Amino acid sequence: MHDDATTSEFGSDEQRITEALQAITARRAVIEQAKGMLMLVYGVDADAAFDVLRKQSQDHNVKLNLVAEQVMKDLVELSRTKGPMRQLALGGLIDTANQRIKHSAERQLDGQTKTGVPMTELGPPPG
């Protein structure tokens, strides 16, 4: 039979594991969404889309999920623009994502994603 301290410790371990799994799942969801967007926009397969994200992450020493989050945010904003500026912006979107990720060291130290305005607060498309 377990004493209260052992039961409490087990519950605490279980809670930490559950929270860690939820965080991993959330990060993976962002990466998968960014991959899907890149697949659609650039007409590449899932492996190529992941390779683009991974390369940017490694080249600029920024966590993969932060690159993916920034790319998603940028593509959503870009989808709201029209005309030739859209094509021009699309060309450099991936290559410059790391430049739009400010204070990455701070984000990575505290484990938070803070690439700016949350996706849910971007508002409706103009017009």
Quick one: pLDDT at residue 83?
A: 66
Residue 126 lies in a domain: no
Quick one: pLDDT at residue 45?
A: 94
Burial of 65 (0-12, 13-18, 19+ CB in 10 A): buried
Domain count, the chain: 1
Residue 105 lies in a domain: yes
- Tell me the pTM: 0.59
Judged against a pLDDT cut of 90, whether residue 97 lies above it is answered with no
Query: Average pLDDT for residues 44-55, to the nearest whole number?
Result: 94
Quick one: pLDDT at residue 11?
A: 72
Residue 94 lies in a domain: yes
Q: Which of 63-67, 76-80, 87-91, 110-114 has the highest mean pLDDT?
A: 63-67
Residue 127 lies in a domain: no
- For residues 35 and 44, give the distance between their C-alpha atoms in angstroms, rounded to a whole number: 9
- Residue 113, domain extent: 4-121
Give me the chain's average pLDDT, please.
75
Judged against a pLDDT cut of 50, whether residue 68 lies above it is answered with yes
